[in-house]
């Protein structure tokens, strides 16, 4: 006991300097505040959550979300020490949950405890993205066509894959309103409808990067919102005259198209296996594409020749041997045919057969 010992003016218990004792101080203090009701707006289609008027994708489950919201709604006075909270939540209907909260701690040396119930209300509202998707919202279309031909099945498939890959990337990066509205094959190519100018530009750019060609843009004013002019943009995307993998005939040689850049084609010389480039000339005869070759079993490889079984006649065919091709008897040689000439492309691997 110190010399300055006194007594609590309220209850008479001993206290330092004659002030309120811990028990009486704790009794008068509102040390915990718990709301009676909590509300959370959630999209029934995609589980996005609306916070302060903004929608965002929620990385956690609805259950974890409700625990987090209850947890953060409990306000505790900073003088409370050794705080422990226990929360249990059960659903009472499809849009109501009931949370039971128990908080214990120590206030001015006195143990304190408080229980409360929170009515948790789920408000279902369609989010900004889902309402646009439902309303078939779009800001433009990329028309993928090819110069002097129809895009190949491969090019059509790749264009669609690229569009959806970019959609994934942009959604993962939090760009909620960038999505692919539709991918539709038309009689002369494929149309990709998109929801924001950012995704439209990215898709057109990547298709040209992967398949060659170029595009022009054609904006059309469709109206005005909050003083901002709204446009729909059509991308006229032209794939090159030759597609990747095409084999062309030029200067008595056969060349596989690897890629194109403006008017330059980068090719693989199918005689030497080496890469080279030359100016594009749409008049070069197209022999075929390496994705649709013929295949013949190799019978012998000797003296600069490869003997194969012609899949069309079952007779022996001879093709010029190529140093860059590794091939053995019994394997299938992939080749294209140009009149009487056999153009070896390589051997069939297990992936080719699928
Ligand atoms: Zn007291
Ligand atoms: Zn949604």
Ligand nearest to C-alpha 12: 1
Ligand nearest to the CA of 125: 2
Amino acid 353: pLDDT: 53
- Is there a single domain that holds both residue 209 and residue 222? yes
Ligand 2 midpoint to CA 301 (Å): 62
Two tokens, residue 141: 């279309």
CA pseudo-torsion sign 133, 139, 145, 150:
positive
Q: Does one domain contain both 282 and 205?
A: no
What CATH number is attached to the domain comprising 346?
A: 2.40.50.140
Q: How far is CA 97 from CA 92, 118, 122, 123, 204, in A?
A: 5, 8, 8, 12, 47
Say whether both 23 and 83 belong to one domain.
no
Q: What is the distance in A from the centroid of ligand 2 to the CA of 75?
A: 31
pLDDT, position 257: 94
Q: Are residues 160 and 216 in the same domain?
A: yes
Q: Which of 316, 338, 341 is nearest to 329 (CA)?
A: 316
At 230 the pLDDT is: 84
Shortest-distance ligand to the CA of residue 108: 1
Bridge partner list, 43:
none
Do 148 and 233 lie in a common domain? yes
Rounded to whole angstroms, the Cα distance separating 26 from 299 reads: 97
**138: closest CA among 238, 234, 236, 237?**
234
Q: Which ligand is nearest to the CA of 26?
A: 1
Domain boundary among 65, 97, 128: 128
Say if residue 145 is in the same domain as residue 235.
Answer: yes
Ligand nearest to the CA of 24: 1
Is the CA virtual torsion 41, 43, 47, 48 positive or negative? negative
List, as own/partner pairs, every contact residues 299-305 make where C-beta atoms lie below 8 angstroms and the sequence separation is at least 24, other chains included. 299/329, 300/329, 301/327, 301/328, 301/329
Give the Å distance between the CA of 174 and the centre of ligand 2.
Answer: 13
- Regarding whether 142 and 196 lie in a shared domain, the answer is yes
Question: Does residue 156 sit in the same domain as residue 225?
Answer: yes
Looking at the 3D structure of the chain, how many domains does it have? 5
219 plus 186 within the same structural domain: yes
Pair (267, 334) in one structural domain: no
**Coil, helix or strand at residue 23:** helix
Residue 1: its pLDDT value, please? Answer: 46
**Ligand index nearest the alpha carbon of residue 14:** 1
The predicted pLDDT at position 4 comes to 58
Cα of 57 to ligand 2 centre, how many Å?
8
How close is the Cα of 45 to the center of ligand 2, in Å? 5
Q: What pLDDT sits at residue 150?
A: 93
pLDDT on residue 354 = 46
Question: Which residues are near ligand 2, the ion (C-beta closer than 5 Å)?
Answer: 43, 45-46, 48, 127, 130
Indicate which ligand has the atom closest to the C-alpha of 7: 1
18 CA → ligand 1 middle, Å:
10
Domain of 246?
242-287
Nearest ligand, measured from the Cα of 55: 2
**Domain end: 128, 153, 175, which one?**
128
Q: What is the pLDDT along the chain (354 residues), one digit of tens a residue?
A: 445 578 888 888 888 888 888 888 888 889 999 999 999 999 999 999 998 889 998 888 888 999 999 999 999 999 999 999 999 999 999 889 999 999 999 998 889 999 999 999 999 999 999 998 888 888 999 999 999 899 999 999 999 999 999 999 999 998 999 999 999 999 999 999 999 999 999 999 999 999 989 999 999 998 888 888 888 999 999 999 998 899 999 988 999 999 887 778 999 999 999 999 999 888 899 999 999 999 999 999 988 899 999 999 999 999 999 999 998 999 999 999 998 899 999 998 876 654
As a whole number of angstroms, the distance between CA 179 and CA 171 comes to 8
Contact 338, 310 (CB under 8 A): no
**26 and 44 share a domain?**
no
Which of 128, 161, 183 is the endpoint of a domain? 128
164 and 235 within one domain = yes
pLDDT of residue 23: 86
What pLDDT does residue 19 have? 86
CA of 2 to the centre of ligand 1 (A): 18
CATH code of the domain containing 267: 2.30.30
């Amino acid at each position: 006991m110190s010399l300055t010992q006194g007594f609590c003016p309220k209850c008479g218990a001993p206290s330092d300097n004659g002030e309120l004792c811990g028990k009486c101080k704790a009794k008068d203090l509102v040390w915990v505040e718990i709301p009676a009701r909590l509300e959370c707006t959630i999209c029934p289609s995609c589980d996005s959550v609306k916070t302060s008027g903004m929608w965002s994708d929620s990385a956690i489950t609805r259950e974890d979300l409700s625990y987090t919201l209850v947890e953060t709604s409990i306000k505790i006075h900073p003088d409370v020490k050794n705080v422990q909270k226990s929360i249990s939540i059960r659903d009472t209907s499809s849009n109501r949950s009931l949370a039971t909260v128990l908080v214990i701690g120590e206030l001015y040396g006195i143990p304190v405890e408080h229980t409360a119930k929170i009515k948790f209300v789920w408000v279902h509202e369609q989010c900004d993205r889902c309402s646009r998707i439902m309303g078939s919202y779009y800001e433009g279309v990329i028309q993928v066509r090819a110069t002097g031909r129809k895009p190949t099945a491969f090019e059509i498939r790749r264009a669609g894959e690229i569009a959806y890959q970019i959609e994934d990337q942009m959604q993962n990066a939090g760009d909620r309103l960038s999505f692919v509205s539709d991918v539709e094959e038309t009689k002369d190519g494929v149309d990709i409808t998109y929801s924001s100018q950012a995704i439209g530009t990215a898709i057109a750019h990547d298709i040209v990067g992967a398949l060659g060609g170029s595009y022009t843009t054609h904006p059309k004013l469709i109206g005005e919102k909050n003083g901002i002019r709204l446009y729909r943009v059509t991308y006229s995307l032209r794939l090159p005259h030759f597609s990747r993998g095409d084999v062309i005939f030029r200067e008595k040689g056969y060349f596989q198209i690897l890629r194109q850049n403006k008017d330059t084609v980068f090719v693989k010389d199918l005689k030497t296996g080496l890469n080279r480039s030359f100016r594009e000339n749409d008049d070069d005869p197209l022999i075929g594409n390496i994705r649709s070759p013929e295949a013949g079993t190799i019978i012998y490889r000797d003296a600069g020749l490869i003997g194969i079984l012609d899949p069309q006649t079952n007779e022996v065919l001879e093709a010029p041997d190529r140093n860059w091709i590794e091939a053995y008897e019994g394997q299938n040689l992939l080749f294209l045919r140009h009149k009487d000439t056999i153009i070896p492309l390589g051997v069939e691997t297990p992936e080719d057969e699928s």
